[in-house]
Amino acid sequence: MSNEAVIVDVVRTASGRGKPGGALSGVHPADLLAGVLSELVTRNGLDPALVDDVIGGCVSQVGEQGYNVTRTALLSAGFPDSVPGATIDRQCGSSQQAATFAAQGVMAGSYDIVIACGVESMSRVPLGSSLGTAQSPQNQQGGQSPQNQQGGQSPQNQQGGQSHQNQQSVQIPNPHGTLMRDRYPDGLVNQGVSAELMNQKWKLGRGELDAFAARSHRLAAAAAERGDFDGELRPTTLRDGRVVAADETIRPGTTLDSLAALPPAFRTDALAARFPKLDWHITAGNSSPLTDGASAALIMSAKRAAQLGLNPRARFHSFAVTGSDPLLMLTGVIPATRRILERSGLSIDDLDAYEVNEAFATVPLVWLRELGADPALLNPRGGAIALGHALGSSGTRLLGTLLNHLELTGGRWGLQTMCEGGGMANAAIIERL
């Protein structure tokens, strides 16, 4: 019989705008992650020497986020040098996959105590950095993501090196070899265009997308005002003494009128010729913003938690991961959810809350239609459109937000799922204890 993997605690930084001048842009990503690792063990009275492993997610593993940033961060946090660390990349779902690996390791008996975590400093290591050329933050519409060419996709549309931001010809390394090009001769596209293709397929209009984006900011602002995030937030003290303790990406004044004024973020003449039926509804406003942030979850066996006198807050119940069409790319949350419900023996009606990552408003709206889920239970504290999408950190960030919501509302079952670059998705179900 496998061990039960429980969640003892989850912490995160506030979200900073992922551009120069953002609230967290002056903090090295290893230091950002070190802060939440240190907070996690300190506030739980845990000797870090007892940690068997630290598994971290990060998408742009280059520069300041290179050379295994997770190991750098745990050493920076003062953990003994006997504690190992590994950094993984499953694109947007990297730290959700880290949590899955951590829990599975506990369940298999390989770990007693493990930390799953993630970090992304999109201000200091911009999109495209891992391909050798980065997107200029100045070209990304005030730090809002015209989103996020993560997923192994190049920061251009892979048709002649045209940038989606400035439409200037830029030649950058292509991560796809001959065999990949043979399989997809017309070329793949970035996530923004994938969202546009989904809008067309599911007949989502600009007004519906913008209304969902406004909802995200409204719910997040209300949750922040009530103090709902206080239990998961770890204030970050900057070198000048200022403290960042609130999410910088929430825009309480967001209105449908302000969103309607924003131009399409991904349309180019070349793409319009290739996809003549697209209406180009995706903007910076109904996409998740470029974000800096870090988060971490303390996971252990129920037996070890009892030995240490720690009270588990939830347990992992089920997991699923799936691939999907890499052209549509963002639809994987649908089969991943169906797979995990089948494996768990639960129905969508059994769940008390669901966190579906808001890479774009398109993704949760399509998910709602396909699953027949209750809109009131979807991202009830707002999602990544308001709370930010610090790529490598988002998985464990969603986990903490979901857990805290279940505790405050008395809910039992929670689902989180994330679309991922290249056409993949993760899903996990937790049970509040």
Place of tokens 């045209």: 162
Distances (CA, A) of 113 to 51, 104, 148, 391: 5, 12, 33, 25
| Structure token pair of residue 248 | 């910088």
Residue 192 CA to residue 387 CA, distance in Å, equals 19
Residue 115 CA to residue 71 CA, distance in Å, equals 12
Residue 43: count of CB within 10 angstroms of its CB: 12
Answer left, alpha or beta for residue 266, where phi above 0 means left and psi between -120 and 50 means alpha. alpha
- List the catalytic residue out of 92, 117, 217, 317: 92
- Residue 113 near residue 258, CB atoms below 8 Å: no
Own/partner pairs, 69-75, CB within 8 angstroms, 24+ separation: 69/29, 69/30, 69/33, 69/119, 70/33, 70/117, 72/30, 73/29, 73/30, 73/31, 73/32, 73/33, 73/34, 73/37, 73/117, 73/119, 74/34, 74/37, 74/48
Decide if 58 is catalytic.
no
Residue 382 CA to residue 398 CA, distance in Å, equals 11
- List the catalytic residue out of 281, 317, 389, 405: 389
Place of tokens 């493990």: 114
- Residue 210 phi/psi, 5-degree rounding, is -65, -35
Chain length of the chain: 433
Residue 377 CA to residue 379 CA, distance in Å, equals 6
Any idea of the CA torsion for 374, 376, 381, 385, to the nearest 10 degrees? 70
Decide if 28 is catalytic.
no
Residue 162 CA to residue 266 CA, distance in Å, equals 11
| b/e code 200-234 from CB counts within 10 Å (16+ = b) | eeeebebebbbebbbbbbbbbbebbeeebbeebbb
Residues tagged active-site: 92, 389, 419
